[in-house]
Chains A and B, each alone.
Chain A
Amino acid sequence: MQEKDDIQQEITSSMRNYSDIDPAPLEKAPTGIDGFDDITRGGLPRGRPTLVCGSAGCGKTLFGMEFLARGAAEFDEPGVFVAFEETPDELIRNAASVGFDLAALSAQGKLAIEHIYLERSEIEETGEYDLEALFIRLGYAVDQVGAKRIVLDTLEALFAALPNEFILRAELRRLFRWLKQRGLTAVITGERGAGTLTRHGLEEYVSDCVILLDVRMAEQVATRRLRIVKYRGSSHGSNEYPFLIDRGFTVLPITSVGLEHEASDERISTGIAQLDAMLEGKGLYRGSSVLLSGTAGSGKSSIAAHFAQASCARGERCLYFAFEESQQQILRNMRSIGVDLAACLEGGLLAFHNARPTQLGLEMHLALMYKTIRTFRPRMVIVDPISNFMSLGTQIEVRAMFTRLVDYLKTEGITAVFTSLTSGSAIDNLERTETEISSIIDAWLLLRDIETDGERNRAMYILKSRGMAHSNQIREFVLSERGIDLIEVYTGPEGVLTGSARLAREAQTREAQLDRTAQLELTRVRLEHKRHAIEAQVAALHAELAAEAAAFDTALKAEQGRDARFSEDRDRMATQRKKGPFAARQGKGE
């Protein structure tokens, strides 16, 4: 919460600084140093001295050198470099190593290097003196090249050589007056003292502009920072700005970006149809930032590769920052899942930038990324993974770095894809580890392994996606040589099932289905049998009945036959008795 407030404050304060309007703008001399002129709103105070201080190796000399070299080469302002410590040869060599050709500028008469050699052991003070010889020499050199700029690196060497501080301080005051009278835009370097900006209090002579350079070691990695301690009569960014020394000085004013970026309504495909379907069927917003987080091997890079391929398929450049794998390794791995990044690379739409996170400090990384992005002008940037940066700084530093990066990318309308490796598989853990950056992310896809029945399977869901009604469902995703396939997971009374368990459960379900069908068939067959049986019984009964009827018929006929014979017999008997009248009557009466 504290960190959030700090960052918010930092953002608002930098925004305030940038929205200030100078009532009477001070005339400024642009340094040409990348980013520095932005935070100072134009450069150093023209015609006035600026103190650049910092500890040994912080880049003071380089700052001065670049100020002069760019002044001479880009702004047609010749300069004089007054070196109290380094020889011209050393300076020329050092400058060449960061890309400045001082010898050429010197040959063109645009730059003079004055090396002032001081050896304490050779010097004996014998009374009153002044530094007029130095003034004459400087004046001579300034006139020689028509200098508008001068660097004194570092005046403090005088304190070591000249013990009479009283005279020296008086002469320094005179020197600063002289510089102003000559209208020289001056950079005075000074070594950082204990509790003071400079060891010998040079800051008391320079009231216009003081810049502090700092190099801090954290986890064995150097981080350089620049701060404008004061800038009289001018508004300026008041933060500590990271800077790097690469091809010259680069100061990163990315913090000043703020939250004023446009929000695009345009949607872009993720390159995975089923994922697009989960995102209202339209995919992601252009210029949004996406976080893909998950445990090792959960498929983050594979999804990122699909994003990259989709970007290239749209004909848009994609910049892939790979902080874990080499370019060749990524190409090979992605080919195995049917994503041909090599073609994108050849087409010039995809570029890789590989580096080990531990190689450089956070700011250096940010600066390099910032530089690469500006050069390549991509529409999509992939950072794979960002989690390795977590170890490079404190939470607040890492967060500040990502805020700057995300803000910068948003301002440029560049879609950002970050992958993040999370440790542990507990879902709480997955979500907690990203709290530093999750709030600045628009869409968060969480990849997780589901471990059951002796196997791990990949599952994905959308934890959040700002500005759209995204799917709330968990999908299993399967990597094959044809790419990523998102499959609806089996959900049932046993919970979410994936992989073999899902297949098994599906098979079981199928079997159960089959069983029921068979059962029904059986019942049907049985019924049929029963019907047959009953019909047979009915037939048998009918036959029995028929048989009985036949028997009855036969019996009846037999009986009738017997009757007939009986009557005949009676008649015959009656005829017999007719021989007597009584017998005949009796027979008739029956």
Chain B
Amino acid sequence: MPEQYILKLYVTGTTPNSLRSIANIKAICEAYLEGRYQLEVHDLYQEPELIRRHHLIAAPTLIKEHPLPYRKLIGDMSDTDRVLAGLGL
């Protein structure tokens, strides 16, 4: 049973960066983690308390909660190599 990836993406409304990051991470997950990932997308404007809880400063930020190590990926996820490195793939 391959490891389940729990990923949370925090964006700020529908800025170009937000939209690009959602599209990019979805594509990467489909390509590399098909069937073994959960991706939640949160809008920080709607849930500002999440910022403090997760120590967010940048948007978009993707948090890899599982598997360890815990990582924060910031940016629009356009640099696929970096995203894969961050995800440990």
Question: Which chain A residues have a beta carbon within 8 Å of chain B's beta carbons?
Answer: 114, 116-118, 122-134, 136-137, 140, 158, 161-162
Closest to A162 in B: B58
Contact pattern, B 21-40, Cβ under 8 Å of A = 1, otherwise 0:
10010000000000000000
Q: Do A126 and B77 form a contact, CB below 8 Å, given A132-B44, A136-B44, A137-B48? A: yes
| B60 cross-chain contacts in A, Cβ below 8 A | 129
Contact B51 A133 (CB under 8 A): yes
A123-B17 contact, Cβ under 8 Å, with A132-B59, A133-B61, A136-B48? no
- Kindly list chain B residues whose C-beta atoms are within 8 Å of the C-beta of A137: 48, 51-52, 56-57
Which applies to chain A's interface (DSSP): helix, strand, loop or mixed?
mixed
Q: Is the CB of B59 within 8 A of A129?
A: yes
Chain A, residue nearest B70 (CB): A122
- Asked if A158 meets B74 with Cβ closer than 8 Å, knowing A114-B52, A126-B79, A129-B17, the reply is no
The answer to whether B52 and A124 touch across the interface, beta carbons within 8 angstroms, is no
Q: How large is the interface on B (under 10, 10 to 19, 20 to 34, 35 or more residues)?
A: 35 or more
Annotate B51-73 by CB proximity to A: 1 below 8 A, 0 otherwise: 11001111111100000011111
Task: Give per-residue flags for B74-89: 1 if the beta carbon is below 8 A from chain A beta carbons, else 0.
Answer: 1111110011011000
- The docked-state distance in angstroms from the alpha carbon of A411 to that of B43 is 63
| Chain A min CB distance to B28 (Å) | 10
User: A126–B76 contact, CB under 8 A?
Assistant: yes
**A123 near B72: Cβ-Cβ < 8 Å:** yes
In the assembled complex, how far is the CB of residue B55 from the closest CB belonging to chain A, in whole angstroms? 4
Within the assembled complex, what's the spacing in Å between the Cα atoms of A128 and B59?
Answer: 9
Name the contact of B76 in the complex, choosing from A128, A134, A158, A161 (C-beta under 8 A). Answer: A128
In the assembled complex, the CB of B33 is this many whole angstroms from the nearest CB of chain A, namely 16
Return the chain B residue nearest A168 by Cβ.
B58
The docked-state distance in angstroms from the alpha carbon of A118 to that of B58 is 11
CA distance A124 to B17 in the complex (A): 16
Bound Cα distance from A136 to B12, whole angstroms = 9
Query: B residues within 8 A CB of A129?
Result: 17, 58-61, 74-76
B67, chain A: closest CB distance, angstroms: 14
Tell me if B8 counts as interface (CB < 8 A to partner A): no
How far is the CB of B62 from the nearest CB of chain A, in Å? 8
Residues of B within 8 A of A114 (CB): 52
Cβ contacts under 8 Å, B51 to chain A: 133-134, 136-137, 140
Q: What are 7 A-to-B residue pairs whose CB atoms are below 8 Å?
A: A122-B69, A124-B86, A126-B76, A126-B86, A127-B75, A127-B77, A129-B61
Chain A residue at minimal CB-CB distance from B49 = A140
Closest chain A residue to B50, Cβ basis: A133
> Closest approach, in angstroms, between the C-beta of A114 and any C-beta of chain B?
7
Let me know if B58 and A133 touch, CB within 8 A. Answer: yes
Residues of B within 8 A of A126 (CB): 62, 73-79, 82-83, 86
Given known contacts A114-B52, A129-B59, A131-B58, is B44 in contact with A124 (CB within 8 Å)?
no
**With A124-B71, A124-B72, A129-B76 as given contacts, are A117 and B55 in contact (CB-CB < 8 Å)?**
yes
Which residues of chain B come closer than 8 Å to A116, judged between CB atoms? 55, 57
B74 in contact with A125 (CB, 8 Å): yes
User: In the complex, A324 Cα to B58 Cα: how many Å?
Assistant: 59
- Contact at A133–B12, with CB atoms within 8 Å? yes
**Is B79 within 8 A of A133, CB to CB?**
no
| B contact residues around A132 at 8 Å (CB) | 12, 15, 44, 58-59
